[in-house]
Amino acid sequence: METQKMEFAGMLKDYQLWLQKLQSDAELFKNYRENTFVNAIRPALSEQLKTIEQETQQLIRLFARVILKAGSHNLKITTQLLSVHTQIRSVFCFHYQHVEELLSEMEEVLI
């Protein structure tokens, strides 16, 4: 059980790091100088970052609630937690791929 709690705590720490990455990229993006391309892409990227953060936060809250309800050796709850963890990772990676593509396009234009 103690090992299981440590694994879950590690997963939650990963989620916090992902959200910090999002916030860091959002801040970096705000600092790009104004030009036609940046102005055109800014709303889409800002919306994408917000969506990722909201969906990831929602899944993290669900994950944390399930952890609090978990019994000492409840295999069913552990399986559900791993399923939610997989969902969180999938949502984050799916959306973040789009963010990285937008940032890459922006860097190419600005160079």
**Structure confidence by residue, pLDDT tens digits, 15-44:** 778 778 777 877 777 776 666 666 777 777
The string of DSSP codes covering 35-98 is -HHHHHHHHHHHHHHHHHHHHHHHHHHHHHHHHHH--TT-HHHHHHHHHHHHHHHHHHHHHHHH
Q: What does the alpha-carbon distance between residue 71 and residue 34 come to, in Å, rounded to a whole number? A: 53
Instruction: Give the tens place of pLDDT for each residue, 46-99.
Output: 787 788 778 777 877 777 777 777 655 567 777 777 787 788 778 778 877 877
Mean pLDDT, range 3-18, rounded to an integer: 72
Residue type (1 letter), 103: L
pLDDT value at residue 60: 77
